[in-house]
Each structure stands twice: as C-alpha cells, then as structure tokens.
Amino acid sequence: MKKASNILLLVGGILQIVCALTFLILGIVFIAMASPASADLIREGLESGTIHSDIQGSTEEIIQALQIVFTALAVVFFVFTLFGVIGTIVTFSAKKKQTKGSFIAAIIFGVLSGPVVPAVGGIFGLIAGNSQAA
C-alpha cells in the first residue's frame, strides 16, 4: 500500500505540474483576449458575422461584456494555477515526509488543483500508515 501511495503521489505531482502549466497558459490567453488590443479583433468579428453572440446591445456593450467574462475566466485559471503549484509542492513533500498531516494536505490540494491522483495517493498513504500502526 505504501508503494502504491508513493507511485500515485509521484504521478499526481507530475499531473499537477502539467495542469498548472495548462491553466497558466489558458489564463494568459484569456488575459490577452480581455485586453483592449483584442477589442478591435472582437469588433471586426462581430461586424463581419464570424463571431456570434446572444448578448443583446451595441457592439461596444458586447465587447465590454466579453472582456468581463474573459477577465473572470483568467482569474479563475490563475487561481487554479496557484492551487496546482501549491499542490505540487505539498504532494512531493508528502511523498518525502510520509506523515499523516502531509497526506491530508495532499488530499486537500489534490482535490483543489484538478487531478485527483494525489488525493488517492494521500488516502492510500493514510491507510498504509494506519495499518502499520495497528
């Protein structure tokens, strides 16, 4: 059980790195789309009909609404990136320390950061720790 926990924590840490990088890239893309520089592209797409929107209002109101949505999505992706980075650190420290507190932290940040593999590794680590104590 301990070996399975170590393998799951290692794989989970790698997955958290990949997810954190993916969320960071998506956050950057959405920040770029929320910038005033992309407003001209959105305006051109709305006027030519290549971008369809169900938002009612003038072109400027639609652009402003889309920029608010893009900004909100960017913030969400940056928060996921932060959880992924913290989760990676916690997961690798749980793999190294093998304590109940570190396994619980790996479970919490494994759930918050996206991939649940570190959470499963933390659960296996807790089970292995309890079976060794008995």
Residue 103's domain comprises: 2-133
Q: Mean of the pLDDT values across residues 111-122?
A: 87
Give Rg (Cα) of the chain: 21
Q: Mean of the pLDDT values across residues 118-133?
A: 82
Q: Which of 32, 22, 24, 28 is nearest to 66 (CA)?
A: 32
Say if residue 134's pLDDT is above 60.
no
Query: Per the structure, how many domains does the chain have?
Result: 1
Return the pLDDT at 133. Answer: 54
What band does 21 get if pLDDT is binned at 50, 70 and 90? very high
Pull the structure tokens for residue 22: 């993916």
